[in-house]
Amino acid sequence: MKTQLSIIGIVSLALVGFSTEAWAQGPRDIKSEQCLASVPLSRQQDRQIDALRAQVWQQSRHLSAQIERAEAELRALTLRPRPNGIAIARKEGDLRALRARERSVWVTYRLQVEAVLGPMQQMVLARCASP
């Protein structure tokens, strides 16, 4: 039993470490941002997209901080001499929910940006973003 809990703790720490590294970059699609830079925008569109980008970065930073706190709490739970499996599972669920919220923020941002663009601009963006 003790060995199983140790293994669970080690695996949890490894997952948290890997996820921290991956999520530090954020779920945003860098290629889409590069493609957006290639779309000719009016001044008004540029201002609207800048405002949307500032808003999404603020939301994302807030969620990233919450994710970091939850990951630290999960590490603390797994390092205890007697790890509580229920508390660990609950914290992992909290982390999944926070990450889903962060992905949702970025998806909403992409949809809002597309709504600012005209049909031709959307086509240019879609062509650039497609493989």
pLDDT in tens, 53-62: 999 999 999 9
- Hey, what are 116's tokens? 């600012």
CB atoms within 10 A of CB 95: 20
Q: Rg of the chain's alpha carbons, rounded to an integer? A: 20
Count CA atoms within 13 Å of residue 16 on its CB side. Answer: 26
**7, 112, 103: which is closest to 49 by C-alpha?**
112
* Separation CA 110–CA 108 (nearest Å): 5
The predicted-structure confidence for 81-109, as pLDDT tens digits, reads as follows 999 999 999 999 999 999 999 999 999 99
Question: Has this prediction a pTM greater than 0.75?
Answer: no
